[in-house]
Structures are given as C-alpha cells and as structure tokens.
C-alpha cells in the first residue's frame, strides 16, 4: 500500500513534466499563472491550489493541451476519467494524491526553470509495467528561479 501511495504520484509527475518539457508554451503559461496567483514572496501552499484548478472539462482528451482548462465545457454529471476508482472501491488516498501532485508539481514549476537535456523532444514511450512507467526515465535540467533563491 505504501509503494502504491508513493509510486503513483511520482509516476504522474514524471509523465506531466515530460509533457510540459515537450510543450514549452504550456510550461510558460503555468509558470505565469503561478506567478500571478501565488506571487514571488511566498512558496506555493495548499490554500493556493483552488485558485489554480479549473473545474471545466476538455475535448480531445488524448492530446496534451493544458490550455483546454481555460475554455473547457462544463461537467455533466459523469467523470471522463477515473484514476482513483469510484464508489465503495475508490482509493482512500484520492484527496491526498491530488494535493501531493498539485503541490509538488506547482512547487517544482514555481521554483525552478526547466529545460530538456538536448534539443530533441522527450521520449514518451511507455515501459512494460503495471504502473505505466516511462520506457526511458525523464532527464531534465533545472535552475533555481529568483523566488527559490529568495525563499529557500
């Protein structure tokens, strides 16, 4: 149970950072939103998360388009994706998982400048495992932003 509780958020963050590094415009939009809503005088906190989540859903779910959260359609009573299950058999750590991934990804993007190691895009092929690991682990370069130098 502990392995699942730690592996799933880490895998989710690795895939998300991989997508963002292949879509630098989306990464810049996220950074700008964090700078606007959180600012440069404090680190991202749990209380900041609702300001960053858009309750609208998206079309073209198979393509990576973070901007879909700006103008998506309203939810009509059914979940389009059930990563934590539903009902009696749903994951008891769902709320914690959402918070951990949101805070960790937000903090990584808010505090560091990210770029790919080379010019080529990040390999997005899947490995052979039950947890949908990447075939090649993510390797990226990061540099502390001014906010990290100031607050850390």
What is the reported pLDDT for 93? 76
pLDDT in tens, 40-68: 999 999 998 877 775 444 455 456 555 55
Q: How confident is the model at residue 97 (pLDDT cuts 50, 70, 90)?
A: confident
Q: From CA 102, how far away is CA 45, in angstroms rounded? A: 10
Q: From CA 129, how far away is CA 47, in angstroms rounded? A: 35
Taking the model in full, what pTM does it have?
0.75
Q: Which domain holds residue 97?
A: 2-151
Q: Is 142 assigned to a binding site?
A: no
How many domains does the chain contain in total? 1
Q: From CA 12, how far away is CA 86, in angstroms rounded? A: 19
pLDDT in tens, 13-22: 999 999 999 9
């Amino acid at each position: 149970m502990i392995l699942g509780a730690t592996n799933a958020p880490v895998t989710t963050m690795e895939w998300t950072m991989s997508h963002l590094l292949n879509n630098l415009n989306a990464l810049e939009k996220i950074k700008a939103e964090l700078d606007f809503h959180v600012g440069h005088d404090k680190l991202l906190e749990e209380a900041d998360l609702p300001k960053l989540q858009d309750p609208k859903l998206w079309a073209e779910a198979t393509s990576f388009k973070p901007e879909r959260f700006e103008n998506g359609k309203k939810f009509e009573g059914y979940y389009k994706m059930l990563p934590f299950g539903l009902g009696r058999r749903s994951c008891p750590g769902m709320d914690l998982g959402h918070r951990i991934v949101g805070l960790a990804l937000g903090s990584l993007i808010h505090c560091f400048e990210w770029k790919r190691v080379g010019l080529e895009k990040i390999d997005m092929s899947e490995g052979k495992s039950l947890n949908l690991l990447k075939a090649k682990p993510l390797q990226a370069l990061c540099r502390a932003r001014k906010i990290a130098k100031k607050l850390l």
